[in-house]
Chains A and B, each alone.
Chain A
């Protein structure tokens, strides 16, 4: 564990990502305390340019709402959706992959065909259809993102389980008559954890991008301020007021970039044998 942190801290990209993510989480958790006014409330005249009034550093949008407050409240939605939908995707992908790898044979084949099917379907189009059919809400968005993003988890876990299953300690557990579920959960999966963690951190980034794209198209939760929604709302007035679209987009870019950097840092730290970038 200590060695893991040392490797992680030695990776400048991963470190930067970690710092940015910590700040983003702090903003999501404590920001609304500093900005108690609802991001939906009109606080000034519409189209107030940024850096003109000290209380409204990023200006106001077409309805006179504070862009800064929107970004702060949006951080909650983005990070929450990113995290929860990734957990949900893991909850589907890990059992499917583990079962496919451990039992193999017909069950494994059937499960992998099922996985490939979901990997073939165009994911963003499926997400759009799912949210539209289920009606936009934070729950339907999480469900849609989870449904389109679990297949890589299943494939990865299956591969890991396939190779771990033949190890001696697993064979020993089988001989001593442990139950299948005990062997999978206690013997095999803990050893398959590190690649799954790397993948999960990258999935959070993808989930944030997906959520913002859905909100941009008007499929966001109508009761929650989100970055994608802000960009979408500012799109029609981009010629008059660039700041309404520019700042939320930067917020998305920075968070996703931070998570990708963390993912790469984790990859280098957890798979040190690969060496840095394969060099």
Chain B
């Protein structure tokens, strides 16, 4: 078990290093001389200042040395400096990270719970009206652009019905404490989290349905039936449990899409997370910040993959822990 986890973490670290290297070259591809860009953003551009900047950030050194310095910086969580925001990139990201984790975590929980629930319902009544309705709805939500669902939700629940706040993390200036604060954040969280959740809910529902129908035909289910087990028990213990394996795999694979969804929803709902930060960096063409967010997003995905890997192995005891 431990050896397995160690091996997985080792693999994730290698991938992360590769992403950092990719990131380094992407920064170098960004338009303009980095020193010139920095000088411009700092509001001065004479030759001495440029040379100083080049020296300070090692831009006068050969490329491999620069790469080494960059990787070394990232290992100590130094992601560079955002001249636009006058702050280190890592601080900007750390400030915003909790909001994104709350949003994506809630969205993931919603989508997995309801996706599996609807998928199970559809599979158990395959061919019925319930099944058709769930299948058609899943197909539609699977095809709807996330940012548009977000806007339609605002139009419906904020503008037309005035039920939910349309933007932000909490009511500005209200200074709620305790339970009132939690409820306030919750009210702000519902729409963005459900928006992201709907797309994944559709994916998981489709996957659960297809997978359950497949498992249902296998021999061990027939055996269980022949033993005289009740249908509910067979569905839950035999069919669903086995059918969940591909769903967990899919959930792990889609971690990256979840992050992408966060960029779009946070932008629409002005949710103060790293997705919104990425959008701000994009608007200001703040490449240091943009690529910093990219590295952190990638690290999040890797961590998430690691967790789903472990879950997968606990769901499916057939898979050995040996490295």
Contact = CB atoms under 8 A, between A and B. Distances in A.
B229 interface: no
A120 B17 CA distance: 13
B222 interface: no
B29 interface: yes
Interface in A185-232: 205, 209, 212-213, 216-219, 228, 231-232
B274 to A, nearest CB: 10
Interface string B131-172: 000000001101111111001101100010000000000000
A29 B13 CA distance: 49
Given A242-B155, A245-B148, A128 B278 contact: yes
A123 B139 contact: no
Interface in A126-151: 126, 128-130, 132-135
Nearest to B28: A133
Contacts of A130: 26
Which interface class (under 10, 10 to 19, 20 to 34, 35 or more) fits A? 35 or more
Interface stretch (A64-72, A80-88, A94-102, A253-261): A253-261
A134 B287 contact: no
A253 B148 contact: yes
B148 A249 contact: yes
B30 A209 contact: no
B121 interface: no
Contacts, number: 141
B151 A231 contact: yes
A277 interface: yes
Contacts of B144: 249, 252-253, 256
B80 interface: no
A119 interface: yes
B264 interface: yes
A246 B287 CA distance: 32
Q: Secondary structure at chain B's binding surface: helix, strand, loop or mixed? A: helix
A260 B126 contact: no
Interface residues of B, number: 55
Contacts of A209: 143, 145
B291 A217 contact: no
A278 interface: yes
B89 interface: no
Given A218-B283, A238-B154, 18 more contacts: A120-B302, A122-B300, A124-B260, A128-B282, A132-B285, A133-B29, A133-B287, A135-B31, A213-B147, A216-B264, A228-B147, A235-B268, A245-B151, A246-B155, A253-B148, A256-B143, A277-B213, A279-B127
Interface of B: 15, 18-19, 22, 26, 29-31, 126-127, 139-140, 142-148, 151-152, 154-155, 159, 209-210, 213-214, 253, 255-257, 259-261, 263-264, 267-268, 278-279, 282-283, 285, 287, 290-291, 293-294, 297-298, 300-302, 305
Interface of A: 117, 119-126, 128-130, 132-135, 205, 209, 212-213, 216-219, 228, 231-232, 235, 238-239, 242, 245-246, 249, 252-253, 256-257, 260-261, 277-279
